[in-house]
Chains A and B, each alone.
Chain A
Amino acid sequence: MTIRFLRNKVVEVTSQSDGSLAVSWRLTDDLLQAEIDLTVQLPDLEIVRAEARLQRLVPRIWSAAPELIKKIEGVRVGSGLRKIVAGLLGGPQGCPVLVDAVLESANAIILYFTRPVLQVGEAMEGEEKLANLREMIKNSPRLVRSCVAFQDDSPIMQGLDL
């Protein structure tokens, strides 16, 4: 017997005319169709609006998803988000689809801001590139020793006193 199950997901981040970001997260598989929309206000990355629509074969315990996701309004995309989302939307009375949707949406927002920063560095060569990386580390001390590239004996770390 062959069991076939197909799931597709997509997440989009769009800048709005009022300066906020609209995040649209969609999932469709053989059983479920889910659409989650978030509006994130800058500069604080606060989730000011959250809506969820679950359709087709939705487990009864998830029927309150449209109300449940409102708990995430007022939360910022920032430190501790995994724990916050798990606490607000997860657990026995929660909805794992919403947890995934919000975390993947948050990840998309982070990438939205991360990509331009990395692209600037990628366009550089040699010492200029190293200097750019050193500046990045100075602005984010948590990067220090976080991976092999940022260990004390790495060329990137030379001259930094962190």
Chain B
Amino acid sequence: MRIDLHVHTAPRSACSYLDPSELVQRAVQLKLDGICLTEHQVVWDPDDVENLAREGGIKIFRGNEYTTNQGDILVFGFYEDLKDLLTIEQLHEKVKSAGGFMIAAHPFRGFKTFGIGQLQMTVEQACKRRVFEFVDAVEIGNGKVSADENDMARKVAEKLGLAGTGGSDAHRADEIGKWVTDFEKDIRDENELVQELHAGRFAAVKAA
């Protein structure tokens, strides 16, 4: 089952130009089996998600992208509507209590004209980031970062024994599905999504 685990829609994410209906239409065109709505610290109402899914005939799951003092974290299975900045420890405690799953989002995203290449970061140095002590997985395929930055995330995940996920981080329709996550099993609801994430039965895939 192919799911884009990282998508932002407007107006719930102020930085997004992607209408939810347009997202669903595009995801169907791309033959995705599901999408995760991961707005910036905005939790979708379950009824709205259900209506959207019915409209497009596709599985839609809720997630969230929280900003912590150690960067952005994709969270699944935790639906508290938190607006304030949390430390990575605080978020970890809350998500673990709820049985949720945490993914370090685009951990090596650089700046517009320079990044890890110019900074000459090694995998060993990258592995020391505190964020990796608190997450269950690393986003090793993000549609908005360079191949080198994704590659560094993959190497770090491998070295630390963490699972790797893929998501487009789409903010526009033409960005959907650039990276996705293939799950071994069919996933019917959010509980099963979290269960499969914890089980590690998935792989990040770059769209052809």
Does B33 count as interface, using CB distance less than 8 angstroms?
no
Does A65 count as interface, using CB distance less than 8 angstroms?
no
Does A154 count as interface, using CB distance less than 8 angstroms?
no
Would you give the 0/1 interface string for B104-115, flagging 1 where the beta carbon is closer than 8 Å to chain A?
Answer: 001001111111
Q: Which of A1-9, A48-56, A135-143 contacts B (4 or more CB under 8 A)?
A: A135-143
A86 with B113: in contact, given A43-B121, A80-B72, A139-B148 (CB under 8 Å)? Answer: no
User: A84 — which chain B residues lie within 8 A by C-beta?
Assistant: 67-69, 85
Q: Interface majority SS on B: helix, strand, loop or mixed?
A: loop
Are A74 and B121 closer than 8 Å at their CB atoms? no
Are B115 and A74 closer than 8 Å at their CB atoms? no
Are A44 and B125 closer than 8 Å at their CB atoms? yes
Are B111 and A114 closer than 8 Å at their CB atoms? yes
Does A76 count as interface, using CB distance less than 8 angstroms?
yes
Distance of A83 Cα from B83 Cα, bound (Å): 11
Are A110 and B111 closer than 8 Å at their CB atoms? yes
* Cross-chain contact of B119 among A43, A87, A136, A139 (Cβ < 8 A): A43
Are B117 and A88 closer than 8 Å at their CB atoms? no
Q: Which of B49-57, B138-146, B153-161 contacts A (4 or more CB under 8 A)?
A: B138-146
Are B145 and A141 closer than 8 Å at their CB atoms? yes
Are A87 and B84 closer than 8 Å at their CB atoms? yes
Would you give the 0/1 interface string for B55-93, flagging 1 where the beta carbon is closer than 8 Å to chain A?
Answer: 000000000000111111000000000001100000000
Interface residues of A in 108-145 (CB under 8 A from B): 110, 113-114, 117-118, 136, 138-143, 145
B6–chain A nearest beta-carbon distance, Å: 14
Are B144 and A142 closer than 8 Å at their CB atoms? yes
User: B145 — which chain A residues lie within 8 A by C-beta?
Assistant: 141-142
Distance of A113 Cα from B115 Cα, bound (Å): 9
Instruction: Give the number of chain B interface residues (Cβ < 8 Å).
Output: 34
Q: Could you say which of A80, A113, A114, A138 has the most chain B C-beta atoms within 10 Å of its C-beta?
A: A80
Are B111 and A113 closer than 8 Å at their CB atoms? yes
Q: Could you say which of A42, A79, A143 has the most chain B C-beta atoms within 10 Å of its C-beta?
A: A79
* Cross-chain contact of B143 among A83, A87, A141 (Cβ < 8 A): A141
Are B109 and A43 closer than 8 Å at their CB atoms? no
* Cross-chain contact of A114 among B72, B113, B126, B146 (Cβ < 8 A): B113
User: A139 — which chain B residues lie within 8 A by C-beta?
Assistant: 110, 115, 117, 146, 148
CB-CB nearest in chain A for B121:
A43
Does B97 count as interface, using CB distance less than 8 angstroms?
no
Listed in ascending order, the chain A residues whose CB lies under 8 Å from chain B are 42-45, 74-76, 78-80, 83-84, 86-88, 110, 113-114, 117-118, 136, 138-143, 145-146
Contacts A/B (CB < 8 Å), 25 sampled: A42-B119, A43-B116, A43-B119, A43-B121, A43-B125, A44-B121, A44-B125, A78-B71, A78-B109, A79-B72, A80-B71, A84-B68, A84-B69, A84-B85, A86-B85, A87-B67, A88-B69, A114-B112, A136-B113, A138-B146, A139-B117, A139-B148, A140-B113, A141-B145, A146-B112
Given A43-B125, A79-B106, 13 other A-B residues pairs in contact with their CB atoms under 8 A:
A43-B122, A45-B119, A74-B69, A83-B67, A86-B85, A113-B113, A113-B114, A139-B115, A140-B110, A140-B111, A140-B112, A141-B145, A142-B112
Listed in ascending order, the chain B residues whose CB lies under 8 Å from chain A are 67-72, 84-85, 106, 109-122, 125-126, 128-130, 143-146, 148, 172
Which 8 A-B pairs rank lowest in CB-CB distance, beginning with the nearest? A87-B85, A43-B119, A43-B121, A117-B113, A113-B114, A80-B67, A139-B146, A83-B67
